[in-house]
Amino acid sequence: MALPEVKQTATDARLAALSLPTGGCLEGARRAALSRVQTLGLPGRRDEYWKYTQPDTLTQVEAPKAAVFDTDEAPMFDDFDRLKVVFVDGVFSPEESDDLSLDGVSIERIADICDKDIHWAKDLYGVLEARGQSPVARPLAALNTAFAQDGLAIHVTGTPSKPINMIYRHSDEGSDAILHHVIRVDSGAEATILENGPAASRFNKCMEIDIADTGKLHLVRAQGRDHERRAATHLFARLGSESEFKSFTLTVNGVLTRNEAVIELTGDDAVAHIAGACAGDGDFHHDDTVFVTHDAVNCESRQVFKKVLRNGATGVFQGKILVKEGAQKTDGYQISQSLLLDDDSQFLAKPELEIYADDVACSHGSTSGAIDEDALFYLRSRGVPAAEATDLLTLAFLAEAVDEIEDEEIASAIVTRLEGWLARRR
Partner 1 sequence: MLEIKNLQVKLEEEEKQILKGVDLTVEAGKVHAIMGPNGSGKSTLSYVLSGKDGYEVTGGSATLDGEDLLDLEPEERAAAGMFLAFQYPVEIPGVGNMTFLRTAVNAQRKARGEEELSAADFLKEVRAKAKTLKIDAEMLKRPVNVGFSGGEKKRNEILQMAMLEPKMCILDETDSGLDVDAMKLVAEGVNALRDEGRGFLVITHYQRLLDHIKPDVVHIMANGRIVKTGGPELALEVENNGYADILAEVA
DSSP per residue, 233-283: EEEEEEE-TT-EEEEEEEEE--SEEEEEEEEEE-STT-EEEEEEEEEEESS
**Could you say which of 379, 405, 413, 422 contacts partner 1 (CB under 8 A)?**
379
Rounded to a whole number of angstroms, the minimum distance from the CB of residue 373 to partner 1 is 7
- The single-letter DSSP state of residue 286 is E
19 binds partner 1 (CB under 8 A): no
426 binds partner 1 (CB under 8 A): no
Question: Among 60-68, 112-120, 216-224, 390-398, which window interacts with partner 1 (CB under 8 A)?
Answer: 390-398
Question: Which is nearer to partner 1, 321 or 379 (by Cβ)?
Answer: 379
Whole-angstrom distance, CA of residue 253 vs CA of residue 282:
9
375 binds partner 1 (CB under 8 A): yes
The size of the chain, in residues, is 426
Helix, strand, coil shares, percent, the chain, to 5: 25, 40, 40
111 binds partner 1 (CB under 8 A): no
Whole-angstrom distance, CA of residue 178 vs CA of residue 230:
12
174 binds partner 1 (CB under 8 A): no
Side-chain half-sphere CA neighbours of 354 within 13 A: 12
How many residues lie near partner 1 (CB under 8 A)?
24
Q: Is the peptide bond before 160 cis (omega within 30 degrees of 0)?
A: no
**Could you say which of 271, 355, 393, 411 contacts partner 1 (CB under 8 A)?**
393
**Could you say which of 27, 344, 363, 377 contacts partner 1 (CB under 8 A)?**
377
Question: Which is nearer to partner 1, 271 or 393 (by Cβ)?
Answer: 393
Question: Which is nearer to partner 1, 147 or 421 (by Cβ)?
Answer: 421
User: CA-CA distances (angstroms) from residue 33 to 133, 141, 143, 369?
Assistant: 11, 9, 7, 41
User: Which neighbouring-strand residues pair with 203?
Assistant: 177, 231
Amino acid at site 26? L
Strands 300-310 and 361-369: unpaired
Rounded to a whole number of angstroms, the minimum distance from the CB of residue 419 to partner 1 is 12
Question: Which is nearer to partner 1, 100 or 398 (by Cβ)?
Answer: 398
Whole-angstrom distance, CA of residue 426 vs CA of residue 424:
6
Question: Among 41-49, 90-98, 384-392, 417-425, which window interacts with partner 1 (CB under 8 A)?
Answer: 384-392
Rounded to a whole number of angstroms, the minimum distance from the CB of residue 382 to partner 1 is 4
Question: Among 64-72, 102-110, 245-253, 372-380, which window interacts with partner 1 (CB under 8 A)?
Answer: 372-380
Rounded to a whole number of angstroms, the minimum distance from the CB of residue 408 to partner 1 is 14
Rounded to a whole number of angstroms, the minimum distance from the CB of residue 253 to partner 1 is 23
